[in-house]
Structure 1
Amino acid sequence: MLRLAPKLAVDYLKAKGYNITWNWQEQLEEAHVKAFTVAKVTRADILETIREATVSAIENGTSEREFIKNLKPELQRLSWWGKQIVIDSKGNAEQVQLDSPRRLRTILRTNKITAYHVGRYAHQMENVDEQPYWQYVAVRDSRTRASHLALHCKMYRYDDPIWDTMYPPNDWGYRCRVRALSEFRLKQQGLKVSKSEGNIKTDWELAGVDKSTGEETHAKVSRFTTDKGTIKTGPGWNYNVGKSAVGSDIAIIRKLQQIQNRQLRQEVIQAINNSELRHQYFEKWVKENLGKQGASNRYITAGFVSENIAQAVNQIVGQELSQRVLVMSEKRLAHANSLKHHTGGVRLDDNEYASISRIIATPSLVVWDRKGSLIYFNKDKTIKVLVDVSGKEKLKPKEKLDVVINAYKLLNYKSVLAEISGENYKVLEGEP
């Protein structure tokens, strides 16, 4: 029995986009992490209704019975209930079972279990220094599949490749979980740590068939054999949902867990999950706020400081400065768009301002300015983005974050080379 999903799990669900699909196999594995979808739902209003009800039910601990009771009349109102003749995207007519109590129950359970394990994975990654050993735990009752008992009580380090595919859930109706143990608990319980490297076999299996065309979709599956039997991932489940959702960088996950502002945390998850969507959202925000009167200290996620860059900065200054999450405030955007920049010819155009998040994501060069800031350069080295890592910026809501303090055209790249040569700039990443 799953408890109410932790906040991070709910935030993960809220960060998902939408995707219209006809068959469930059209969106497999990591694609599910990025977008909420329900097979045969071809209207955005219906998909949004189901998604909002699902997130609300998981966030508030609503029972399956209550979830179905509340959602059924809404879907009936939208004419999306029972068996109907529906036209797919290719113009083919097909009689399909739209929503039903059984299907709604599956939707809720699947989203609940994936959200639960996203939150659990993030929490366990956050604590790997103290609890680096992960144990697979199956529910042993009459409903448990025999294959799942093959891993029951088996112990592997958190960074063992087995967790790339066997971290739950890895099939429909999955109830297994992973628990983390410390070195002390490991020895106390007399447990042995195994290694899976080289023993995981990958194959392809049929995931589904399009009834109208006969087209088959195949998906990767993994098999792993222990002294208790063989466990296999289901088609479409051959991945670690937690790792796909929040990444495997321990430092990032720890910072993510510390962010109290839930809206920002959802944006951060979205940035990890779906960078292109995040860039588009950042672009929209920039264009809405450029030239706006009465700029405030409110902000938006602009990107991340990588672990390598953060460690390099901390080593240079002799203390931990970088918060790793970069944001752009309305005031900083207004400053970058100031009259001073206009008259000096260094003001970026709207599209260049909107590209700041992309520059941070894939810089050609990153340097540390000994005056106290990080500088990111775009691919052509014609734009520089300065980041204040002091954490002193007064933001609303309050967070200790790295702030993008300026962005402008670079008129003379030779001046950058001179700063590097004179050791005023320290190269952290990329080539000058």
Structure 2
Amino acid sequence: MTKIPQRPELNALFNSPPEDAIAYLKSKGFKIGWDWHETLDEAHSRAFTVAKVARIDLLQDIRKSLITALEQGQNLEQWKAAITPTLQQKGWWGKQTVTNPAGIEQTVQLGSPRRLKTIFDTNVHKSLAAGRYKALMATIDTRPLWEWVHISITNPRKVHLARNGETRRYDDPFWLYAYPPTEFGCKCKVRARRASDAEALDLNVVETKPEDIEQHQVIIGKSSFTGQDAVATQTRIRVRQADGQVTYFSPAAGFNSHPAASYLLDVELTKRAADLLGAQKGLEQVQQMLLSQPRLKAHEAFVKNAISFGKQQNKTSTVGVIDMRDIKFLTKKNVVVESPVLTISDHLLVGQKAKRHGEAGNAPTLVEWLVLPQDIVRLDRVLWDVSNESMLYLLPVMTEDFSSFTDEFLKLSIRSKNGVMEIVSIFKVQKKAIVDGLNANFYEVIR
């Protein structure tokens, strides 16, 4: 008889395979990084990285092995036994002198039992937490309260233990920055509660106000080959108890993130938006979440990771919600709209289309890519491209100093792919070309 390991985060693995956690890990792209602090916060929700792994095949091997661990319910020792021979065979093991990204020889610690434990614990627990977040979001209509549950095997962290039992609404700002895990080794979790439980169970309900959240830059180390300070954003949250007591809580540097930045919430948002199709207020709520800081940072991470990797990984970012007027127009054109959520793929950043528009000089700038979710809600007009049977979003283009608008539009061509609205091309066009197209009846005005 197989003995179930007595570790909370591993016990979950011995039930049915955690499909959402597996999907989360599979959804990540890859990012080559040298120091651990090169990929922090929301970027971790979009890219899989291991410090000092400079080969994509090694990253692929490690991620594949972690997915297998989740699928098969492997514990740490089983996973280490499976992955160690591969890493040793490919030379990623022990202390070695290697050439760093600056072209300088450097003695570094590569694979080791200790490093493997960190890789396993961080990735498995974050994947399970992201999967649980998706499940919690699916029940907010009946269980809108979330309770922090402290879990510790040995040596409990006092600041985490102090959070035990604290209960907040699912949309409390606290969860945007401090959804566990909030540091290496943290195994705390969140439990959903009914609104009636607050009184029935005498829950410790607290509320975070916007002014209770402060962010500042902290030095978290030095680049191992340039010697420059590595700086990260750290969040400090004021916690006000019902009895008037005030304490503070800060996630560790690098954990200033949230599962809302992940692919899993894109999936849940798509489902929720589809359920609300036709309900304008519901669609506005989804749009509001997409414009929240964690979501905007997630899109920023998507853009920067795609550019850093340099080639298509078939990853997407959710950047907006199409308007009810657009949906009604598309329905009349017999276009299937199963979800109003608007997505964009990384191939438009680094694929053949990106190269072609770059050479033509009409590609979006990096800034325009980064602010795309905000610009979409400020679009100028919406047209129907008659010959291509696609919807066009025309966004105003600012001058480099942001002092005025240019004579161009950023044109987004949008099509339904299996019921999901996807941006299939994005590039700049002269406003005159749009006017000429309207006069020639190449376009129809939607709004």
Give the corresponding residue for 1:367: 382
Aligned match of 1:200? 213
Instruction: Output the amino acid matched with 1:306.
Output: G
Instruction: State yes or no: 1:306 paired with 2:323.
Output: no
Aligned mates of 1:90, 1:279 — CA distance in 2: 19
Structure 1: how far apart are the matches of 2:413 and 2:187? 47
1:28–1:237 CA contact under 8 A, matched in 2:
yes
Question: In the superposition, relative to structure 1, how do residues 271 and 192 fare at CA in structure 2: closer, same or farther (>3 Å)?
Answer: closer
For normalisation by structure 1, the TM-score amounts to 0.68
* Secondary structure of 1:234's aligned partner: coil
Give the letter aligned to residue 320 of structure 2: S
Matched residue, 2:262 = 245
SS in 2 for 1:324: strand
Q: 1:178-237: per-residue Cα shift (whole Å, max 9, x none)?
A: 112222333322325321212234344331234555432232223334548543211211
- In structure 2, the CA distance between the partners of 1:89 and 1:381, relative to structure 1 (3 Å rule), is closer
Match of 2:81 in 1: 69
Query: Retained in 1: the 8 A contact 2:320–2:341?
Result: no
Letter matched to residue 245 of structure 1: S
Amino acid corresponding to residue 323 of structure 1 in structure 2: S
* 2:132 maps to 1:120: yes
Contact 1:53 1:67 in 2 (8 A): yes
Q: Does residue 1:413 correspond to 2:425, yes or no?
A: no
User: Match for residue 183 of structure 1?
Assistant: 195
Deviation string 1:379-407 (CA, Å, 9 cap, x unpaired) is 6459674645xxxxxx8xxx544588999
Aligned partner of residue 71 in structure 2, secondary structure: helix
User: Which range moved further: 43-52 or 244-253?
Assistant: 244-253
Q: Report the RMSD for the aligned CA atoms in angstroms.
A: 4.6
Aligned AA (1:243): A
> Which consecutive unaligned segments of at least 5 residues does structure 1 have?
259-269, 286-299, 329-348, 389-394, 428-432
Contact 1:151–1:228 at 8 Å: present in 2 too?
no
Whether 1:223 aligns to 2:240 is no
Name the CA shift for 1:26/1:404 in 2 (closer, same or farther; >3 Å): closer
- The aligned counterpart of 2:92 is 80
Match of 1:48 among 43, 48, 60: 60
Structure 1 residues 172-181 or 80-89, which shifts more?
80-89
Look up the match of 1:344: none
Aligned-pair distance for 1:76? 1.1
The CA distance in 2 between the partners of 1:212 and 1:381, in whole Å, is: 43
* CA distance 1:121–1:310, shift in 2 (3 Å): farther
Question: In structure 2, what is the Cα distance between the partners aligned to 1:221 and 1:411?
Answer: 47
Task: Give the CA deviation at 1:86.
Answer: 2.2
Query: How far does residue 148 in structure 1 lie from its aligned partner after superposition?
Result: 0.5
Q: Which runs of 5+ in 2 are unaligned?
A: 1-7, 276-297, 345-354, 397-407
- Normalization by structure 2: what TM-score? 0.66
8 Å CA contact retained: 1:382, 1:413: no
Change (3 A) 1:355 1:144: same
Give the residue type in structure 2 aligned to 1:232: S
| Contact 2:126–2:181 (CA under 8 A) maintained in structure 1 | yes
- The answer on whether the counterparts of 2:340 and 2:420 sit within 8 Å (CA) in structure 1 is yes
In structure 2, do the counterparts of structure 1 residues 312 and 273 end up closer, same or farther at CA, with 3 Å as the change threshold? farther
- Alpha-carbon distance in structure 2 between the residues aligned to 1:237 and 1:406: 34
Q: What per-residue deviation string (whole Å, max 9, x for no partner) do you get for residues 309-358 of structure 1?
A: 34445688999955135699xxxxxxxxxxxxxxxxxxxx9759x989x8
1:324 is aligned, of 340, 346, 354, to 340
Shift of 1:133: 1.4
Could you tell me whether the CA contact under 8 Å between 1:126 and 1:250 is conserved in 2?
no
Question: What is the CA-CA distance between 1:34 and the residue it aligns to?
Answer: 2.2
TM-superposed CA distance for 1:111, in Å, is 0.5
Measured at CA, do residues 365 and 106 of structure 1 come closer, stay the same or move farther in structure 2, by a change above 3 Å? same
Q: Residue in 2 aligned with 1:331?
A: none
SS in 2 for 1:156: strand
Structure 1 residue 18, shift from structure 2 partner: 1.9
Matches within 5 A, 1:2-401: 2=9, 3-4=12-13, 6-139=18-151, 142-197=154-209, 198-224=211-237, 225=239, 227=245, 229-240=247-258, 242-246=259-263, 252-254=269-271, 274-275=302-303, 306-307=320-321, 309-313=322-326, 321-324=337-340, 364-367=379-382, 374-377=391-394, 380=408, 385=413, 387=415, 400-401=419-420
What percentage of residue pairs aligned between the two structures are identical? 27
Distance verdict in 2 for CA 1:228–1:151, change over 3 Å: farther
SS in 2 for 1:218: strand
* 355 and 251 in structure 1: CA distance in 2 versus 1, 3 angstrom threshold: farther
Q: Please give the alpha-carbon distance, in whole angstroms, between the structure 1 residues aligned to 2:307 and 2:225.
A: 37
User: 1:414 & 1:236 partners in 2: Cα distance?
Assistant: 50
**Cα distance in 2, alignment partners of residues 49 and 250 from structure 1:** 26
The one-letter code of the counterpart of 1:413 is V
Q: Is the 8 A contact 1:160 1:195 kept in 2?
A: yes
Rounded to whole Å, the distance in 2 between the matches of 1:89 and 1:405 is: 35
Q: Which residue of 2 aligns with 1:346?
A: none
Look up the match of 1:339: none
User: Are the equivalent residues in 2 in contact too, given 1:245–1:273 (CA < 8 A)?
Assistant: no
**Counterpart in 1 of 2:285?**
none
